[in-house]
Chain A
């Protein structure tokens, strides 16, 4: 039932708006709205109950194991929420003077400093709102860098074929053509193809390392050399930073610019689709182009760094400073982890992934890259099951929901047929991983004996499989009373 269907004319939740409609007769009548907007008319309890019940129709980290590859669904500590939502932080207006925000700005400045250290970059700007906006920022800076040197003929961004969709989409937004670089059978980038592809037209390359295939790109230093020698720059898509947090700095691998997904590696919540935060870090030569605002410190006071201080900045990305409340959560998380905790993130994310990978292999599942170590994630391919039993990765994914597990990422990366990209994260206990393996084994048995139960799955959710074709063909995007 929709909230609109609880609505009754004249019902309301008093106490949240003034009792009377104030006089607006000084506004010309032609500019005033003639009707009352058709929002629900419900009591506060009705609203609270309705949305509480809706929440219960969701899978979430707080309620289920959520091994969604490339998304780093680790525990979002409650302390991060509680202390980011203190009234003093919530009430602060974005344009209040810096003198009225020293406490908040101190957190932001310290976060910049910590992110610099863990990534090995020279400077950090916190303003991008999510990974994709961080990518946009990074590639726009690469463009600004080449332009500033009068090197404006560079027209191409290289992207491995395993890359996330945001990478090529970003290159296009920045006015670049995309050239794809193939991947070898072992999951590493095809260096011969890369050497063929680079040239005076190369502006840069966008790489994820570990890649979206769940393996560490072993010849990263070689890739950096090839691209740099061609005059291009290296962009690091930090979606998989959890695999190397506290172990390897992207700056040391040779990257010139990176983004981090704080809603992955720094445990800020995904919120059912966002908000995230995608700070960017750069090497020295890109520093002048960083987006504003940033936070500076003169030894005594914190202040904003704006366009006036950074004439070569690519500019601003949003009306204010980006997702400040998300950044506060990331700051709190980083302080709770501290140095020792930070070192351990990659350790235990990798331990969990390798354990789960080995257990699934022992249980008879095929790995996409059997000769490789898992990083923080790995890929199982169900190509064989598809061929022999006519069940797909989608069928497994949907059946897992019945067993109380959120599905791994399916059909990404596009390179591996019938793939399940599995990322357990460091915050899961061993029993949880064992339970997942057990469920996978049971589903495999079902696939062999009664495949229908998979094809018809899920059976226990609020709805069964939905008609996506109808959704797109008979568009129903907003409710209308009949």
Chain B
């Protein structure tokens, strides 16, 4: 029996000890009419070799295309040691560290993680993770509403240039809490969120402003001006920062005169594989004065009875298991193992290493875009600097271009028209440090050819479109 150690003797002896005739008898408190008779929807047991064959086939079925999509999940090199250590049984199969003395490993890892994140983001405090970047933004909005005691409006300014799925997730999660999410447009030429777009809210009661660095288009926002505007208008600043970018760019804690109040986002770039979207983790940092409003677990350093240093979960009065209906969030299980991976990743790669990866990703994306200089059909949509993603206008319909490029083993980018109708046939493209010169050449050659074919085809048969 899979994973069940009982011998016939065990079963007999155990039933005898219990005083029951059969295992069946142990279910005598369950009304008979509730009992399952068949499980037809579950296939027959598989042995491990059969299973191995099935999974190998399925994993290989999808090939290994060269990926140029970012859009919230980024392909970076992960040192082999990261997941070798992370999947050690002692980390992998432990529960939440409620019994602190028997969980010092996990607790110290989280304390180190919190230290690394506060340094990377230049913030005072970090929690031990939320589910992912998008749900972290939703929690940050709820946190800001509690933390900004001077504001009564529950009005949060949400730029349209924030990741569309983050905005959608935030809507779902705060939907029943009477919070007003107000969209702020982006500048059609620069792709950034201009301070002028905020002017109409001056003098109003605004609870918080969300600032994404870089924004969904890969464009660098003028974070100092936006932050100062928010603080001058009594609003808190929620930074949504790519942690890899934060190694190279001004970190949220240093934006403007006072810095962001809350920083949150997706931890995936720090050592977590793409794996179809998860498990990733949401990070969240804040200023000291807001720590008691932060959601999720937090580890503190303390001493034991002999005065020895040790680590423990702290400020638990914020959490559901203590505060129940008055907790800061319902979150319980978080994304602990991913934090373990990220901590090991940051330790091995180091601060200077992160900067070099970030810079190489930036340079690769810029090099890719520059290779289209001679093709008038293809080029950047926005004229402002970007980090490691860029919006390319492709002079042909993406619903023919993308499948054609798939034939060249390329996943060529994210079709922005899905979320921004005004950006029809615009592609969000990302080339991280993992891409070689040959990869870029291959991309450019294939794209030029496919777009060329498509345009020629359209000229020849205009009715087809």
Q: Is the CB of A166 within 8 A of B330?
A: yes
Q: Which of B26, B319, B350 contacts A13 (CB 8 A)?
A: B350
Give the CA-CA distance A272 to B297 in the complex, in Å: 12
List of B residues within 8 angstroms of A106 by Cβ = 58
User: Lowest 6 A-B CB distances belong to which pairs?
Assistant: A117-B41, A320-B277, A62-B89, A271-B337, A273-B336, A338-B45
Q: Is the CB of A427 within 8 A of B320?
A: no
A366 contacts the other chain (CB 8 A): no
Known contacts A12-B352, A317-B173, A476-B302; 4 additional CB pairs below 8 A are: A100-B411, A320-B73, A338-B42, A463-B104
Centre residue among B5, B106, B277, B305 by max chain A CB count within 10 A: B277
> What are 27 sample pairs from A and B whose C-beta atoms fall under 8 A apart?
A13-B353, A39-B120, A40-B347, A51-B344, A57-B104, A57-B108, A59-B99, A61-B94, A94-B274, A118-B39, A118-B42, A132-B330, A166-B330, A271-B337, A272-B92, A275-B278, A317-B172, A318-B169, A336-B3, A338-B2, A358-B18, A358-B19, A373-B29, A429-B6, A463-B308, A471-B300, A478-B124
A389 contacts the other chain (CB 8 A): no
List of A residues within 8 angstroms of B17 by Cβ = 355, 358-359
Q: Is the CB of B276 within 8 A of A101?
A: yes
Q: Mark A341-383, 1 if CB is under 8 A from B, else 0.
A: 1111011101110110011000000000000111000000000
Q: Which of B114, B176, B297 contacts A175 (CB 8 A)?
A: B176
Centre residue among B100, B131, B354 by max chain A CB count within 10 A: B131
Considering the complex, give the chain B residue whose CB is closest to the CB of A14: B353
Q: Is the CB of A468 within 8 A of B278?
A: no
> In angstroms, how far is the closest chain B Cβ from the Cβ of A288?
15
List of A residues within 8 angstroms of B176 by Cβ = 140, 143, 173-175
A398 contacts the other chain (CB 8 A): yes
Give the residues from 103 to 149 in chain B that come closer than 8 angstroms, CB to CB, to chain A: 103-106, 108-112, 114-116, 118-120, 124-126, 128-129, 131-135
> In angstroms, how far is the closest chain A Cβ from the Cβ of B263?
13
B52 contacts the other chain (CB 8 A): yes
List of A residues within 8 angstroms of B169 by Cβ = 315-319
Q: Which of B18, B223, B324, B333 contacts A274 (CB 8 A)?
A: B333
Q: Is the CB of A215 within 8 A of B29?
A: yes
Known A-B contacts A275-B333, A401-B99; A96 and B305 likewise in contact (beta carbons under 8 Å): no
Give the CA-CA distance A354 to B29 in the complex, in Å: 13
List of B residues within 8 angstroms of A79 by Cβ = 48, 51-52
Q: Is the CB of B333 within 8 A of A273?
A: yes
Please tell me the number of chain B residues within 8 Å of chain A, measured between CB atoms: 197
List of B residues within 8 angstroms of A321 by Cβ = 276-278
List of A residues within 8 angstroms of B61 by Cβ = 88, 102-103
Q: Is the CB of B99 within 8 A of A273?
A: no
A228 contacts the other chain (CB 8 A): no
Give the CA-CA distance A428 to B301 in the complex, in Å: 35
Q: Is the CB of A168 within 8 A of B324?
A: yes
Give the CA-CA distance A325 to B348 in the complex, in Å: 24
Please tell me the number of chain A residues within 8 Å of chain B, measured between CB atoms: 197
List of A residues within 8 angstroms of B109 by Cβ = 51, 54, 272
Centre residue among B1, B4, B165 by max chain A CB count within 10 A: B4
A81 contacts the other chain (CB 8 A): yes
Q: Is the CB of A273 within 8 A of B334?
A: yes
List of B residues within 8 angstroms of A316 by Cβ = 134, 165, 168-169, 172
A462 contacts the other chain (CB 8 A): yes
Give the residues from 282 to 339 in chain B that come closer than 8 angstroms, CB to CB, to chain A: 291, 297-306, 308-312, 314-315, 319-327, 329-339
B20 contacts the other chain (CB 8 A): yes
Q: Is the CB of A319 within 8 A of B83?
A: no
Q: Which of B29, B338, B347 contacts A50 (CB 8 A)?
A: B347
Interface segment, A63-71, A189-197, A441-449?
A63-71
Q: Is the CB of A13 within 8 A of B165?
A: no
Q: Is the CB of B304 within 8 A of A465?
A: yes
Q: Is the CB of B350 within 8 A of A39?
A: yes
Give the CA-CA distance A117 to B203 in the complex, in Å: 57
Q: Is the CB of B305 within 8 A of A22?
A: no
Interface segment, B30-38, B194-202, B441-449, B452-460?
B30-38
Give the residues from 140 to 195 in chain A that come closer than 8 angstroms, CB to CB, to chain B: 140, 143, 164-166, 168-175, 178
> In angstroms, how far is the closest chain B Cβ from the Cβ of A236?
13
Q: Is the CB of A248 within 8 A of B30?
A: yes
